[in-house]
Structure 1
Amino acid sequence: MPAFVRRVLSLMVLLLLPAAAAAAPVGVMVRNESTSATCAETDNVSLKLVAEQIEKFTIIARHPAYVGMLRVDNTEPDFETCDMSRDPVVPAPAPPPAAAGAPPAAPATGVPRRVTIFETPDLWITGFTFPSFWRAASVPVRIGGEVTQGLHMLQLWVRQNDKAEEVLVVYPPDGYWRARPLSPTHLRSTAYGSSFLVGPVEQAERPLVRLKELDFAPQTRTFTLHFADGGKARLQLAKVDGDQIRLEVQFDGIAPRTFAALRSMYVTEGNADVARVAWRTLASPGTPAAMGEAPVMSFTDAQNVSMLWAGRLVPSRHNTSAPDFTFEGFAGR
């Protein structure tokens, strides 16, 4: 058979094969499990995202609408009405043994231990071990062939426009993340505020995601979350600039039903990291897409949501510059 005939037949076979199913938009349920609080350091705002089959979605942290008006930024913690005495306390693991011939590791001093575990001129990751945390630091962190144990927190730093800034934080023991864009030109830095969870969200004193291992691929700026009960997800730093930080999440296999959550605080509208929510529903045959908005504490569960925004319209005296969050791009097969 002539070669050109074989090529034509091969092309015809490919054209007749069924096309791979593309990810289609999915509407999710937003469940509001927030409770009232008087402590500004309590994560009493809890918005959970629920769906049967999610393949991917996007998380965006963007400066609040009023950031251009800020001249004074309040980022100090406020423990005025807080009682943390009943919080779980797990001591930090002992420092790893020193290599042969090296001086012995320094004893615990009551201050965090800091280590740079990856570094290039434009991107680096710093790890911290605190004297104690509410969960054990038992999740290994892998970058290439190097594994680091006993970390409570990782910071991801980037250098852009001749300025280095920390833009993403993760706590491996409980799966909490924080994100923020690069600072606007009139502010030296901005605050973190709300946290988010990605993966099978469960309750153990507070919502958390149990991780078995956390990997990072510097070339693609992608974290791989290996969940304790199986499955994994990839979280990629897709974009970061002076307006927003965009994180693309892709599940490997079947995603958990409660696949993500936003955790934040609200005491009053002027003392909150999240004060309001807005959402858009997914259009369906005979029903157009619609928008809704509400104060976060009176918001009731929403169905068939294609976009959720959680943030502030007026400045707060707590973490004044902290970003708003948007969850969107929900897709599945």
Structure 2
Amino acid sequence: MSTPLLDRRRLLLAASSLPFARPSFAQQPQEAEEDLQVRIENRSTPELCAEKDNIELDFVSPQVRRMRVQAVHPSYIGMIGSDRWAPDWTSCDLSHDSKFAADARRLTFWETPEFWLVGYTFPSFWRPNDVPVRVGDRVEKGFHLVQLWMTYRERAEEILVFYPPDGYWRARPLPFEDMRWTAYGSSFLIGPVEVQERPIVALKEIVFDPQTRSFTLRFRRGGEAKLRLGSIDQDRIVLDVSYSDAMPDGLPFASLRSMYTTQSMSDAALVAWRTKRGIGWQEAPVIGFPGAPATEIWLGRHMPSRHNLSAPDMVFGKFQSTAATAVK
């Protein structure tokens, strides 16, 4: 089992009883003919600490060159009266976490009236912060966290965040209806997923293109991927991902990470997936999910949780081998 991501939850925190609900799946339930079936491996383990990412779903296929990631408001989003975002450190032992010190700072890389990109360096993180981030001719190093913001309804909304030192991403839609904010929850990795104390993607460089609102991820193991903001509204955020090559050494091309102790204390509790030519969706508790071949997968909750109740469900799908739109 990998050591969970306690520092990340601290950084995100710093910067009612509900009926059962059905999951919010992707908008197009009919699979395209060219969609691939990939192998999903479940490396999740039981955990007592509610601030550890013990859920790990790895995605494996040597054929994948494109995929789609969606963060979708849970189906009960309109019923939420209040949310809890404060951490619960019960049963958490932080004494063995690695820590690398740094000088705190904040920098705006790029901004327009509609969008802007901001980087943060915190006093410490579990990995060195040496991955360069490039925007146009400007190159900066030393950031633990980079946020993409946008203006919506005359307010600033943070919609996407990534961590250059270990390659983690989080995404969320715009706040639902009149809600002032919604929480982040599950995170994901794009690229060759390997274990260095924890599951990571080792990045050589990240390049942001303001014109296309896309991020090029250059990997230390070779190759690259592009993550593009496809669309965003008050229901979901859609991210289109393309890869230049297959992953080296048969490594996963992506991973979903989350937290689960019990259904009432979790960021994700259930998995639903569909297979090629399957007659319907299959569902399982995330801890007991045996892994499966799938063309699409949903990770989320049916029951209310005391932790990040408004956090989005995650949907991975549209796995394709077409190389025409691969990274240039």
TM-score tier after normalising by the smaller chain length: 0.7 to 0.9
The reply on whether 1:152 has 2:141 as its aligned counterpart is: no
Aligned partners of 1:151, 1:298: CA distance in 2, in Å? Answer: 37
The one-character-per-residue Cα deviations of 1:217-247 (angstroms, maximum 9, x if unpaired) are 0111100000001100000011111000000
1:281 aligns to 2:278 (yes or no): no
- The separation in 2 between residues aligned to 1:311 and 1:210, in whole angstroms, is 27
Q: Return the alpha-carbon distance in structure 2 between the equivalents of residues 45 and 232 of structure 1.
A: 25
Answer yes or no: is 1:118 the counterpart of 2:107: no
- 2:325 aligned with 1:331, yes or no? no
Letter of the aligned partner of 1:299 in structure 2?
F
TM-score w.r.t. the length of structure 2 is 0.86
After superposition, residues 187-202 of structure 1 pair within 5 angstroms as: 187-202=179-194
Q: For 1:259-278, what aligned pairs fall within 5 Å after superposition?
A: 259-278=253-272
Q: Could you tell me which residue of structure 2 aligns to residue 299 of structure 1?
A: 289
Residues 263-272 or 82-91, more deviating: 82-91
Aligned pair 1:237/2:250, yes or no?
no
Counterparts of 2:280 and 2:315, CA distance in 1:
16
Between the aligned partners of 1:289 and 1:139, the Cα distance in structure 2 is 45
Q: How does 1:84-233 map to 2 (within 5 A)?
A: 84-92=94-102, 108=103, 112-233=104-225
Match of 2:82 among 59, 62, 72: 72
1:290, distance to aligned residue in structure 2 (A): 4.0
- What's the TM-score once normalised by structure 1's chain length? 0.84
What is the Cα deviation at residue 67 of structure 1? 0.8
For 1:86 and 1:318, how far apart are their aligned partners in 2?
Answer: 24
AA matched with 1:273? D
Matched residue count = 289
Aligned partner of 2:276: which letter?
L
Contact 1:282–1:290 (CA under 8 A) maintained in structure 2? no
Q: For residue 253 of structure 1, report the CA deviation from its aligned partner.
A: 2.7
Report the Cα distance in structure 2 between the residues aligned to 1:240 and 1:75, rounded to whole angstroms: 23
User: Counterpart of 1:6?
Assistant: none
Measure the CA separation in 1 of the matches of 2:85 and 2:73: 15
Tell me the alpha carbon deviations over residues 28-54 of structure 1, each in whole angstroms, 9 at most, x when there is no partner.
011010001111100000000111211
User: Partners of 2:92 and 2:302 in 1: how far apart?
Assistant: 26
How far, CA to CA, are the matches of 1:136 and 1:272 in structure 2?
Answer: 29
CA distance in 1, matches of 2:221, 2:270: 34
CA distance in 2, matches of 1:145, 1:113: 21
Q: After TM superposition, list the pairs within 5 Å mapping 1:42-57 onto structure 2.
A: 42-57=52-67
Structure 2 residue corresponding to 1:26, chosen from 26, 29, 36: 36
Residue 10 (structure 1) aligns with: none
Check the 8 A contact 1:49/1:261 in 2, yes or no.
yes
Q: Distance in 2 between matches of 1:249 and 1:77?
A: 31
SS at match of 2:78: helix
**1:3 equivalent in structure 2:** none
* SS state at 1:25 partner: coil
Question: Counterpart of 1:17?
Answer: none
Separation in structure 1 between the aligned mates of residue 34 and residue 301 of structure 2, nearest angstrom: 31
Give the greater-gyration-radius structure (CA): 1
Distance 1:81 1:259 in 2: 32
The unaligned stretches of length 5 or more in structure 2 are 1-32, 323-328
Letter in structure 2 aligned against 1:309: W
How far apart are 1:289 and its partner, in Å? Answer: 4.6
Paired position in structure 1 for 2:297: 308
Q: Describe the SS at the equivalent of 2:81.
A: coil
Residue 84 (structure 1) shift: 1.1
Structure 1 runs (4+) deviating above 6 angstroms are: none
Which residue, out of 219, 229, 240, partners 1:248?
Answer: 240
Q: Deviations over 1:124-174 (max 9, x none)?
A: 011000111110001000000000111111000011232220000000000
Q: 2:6 corresponds to which residue? A: none
Q: Partners of 1:313 and 1:290 in 2: how far apart?
A: 18
Unaligned runs of 5+ in 1: 1-22, 93-107
Give the alignment's Cα RMSD to 1 decimal: 1.4
Q: Whole-Å Cα distance in 1 between the matches of residues 172 and 192 of structure 2?
A: 23
User: How far did residue 117 of structure 1 move?
Assistant: 1.2
Matched-pair identity in %: 50
For 1:68, what is the secondary structure of its paired residue?
helix
Amino acid at match of 1:90: F
Equivalent in the alignment of 1:318: 307
Distance in 1 between the 2:213 and 2:91 partners? 39
Output the amino acid matched with 2:85: T
Give the whole-Å Cα distance in 1 for the aligned partners of 2:117 and 2:89: 29
- The code of the aligned residue for 1:46 comes to E
Matched AA of 1:296: V
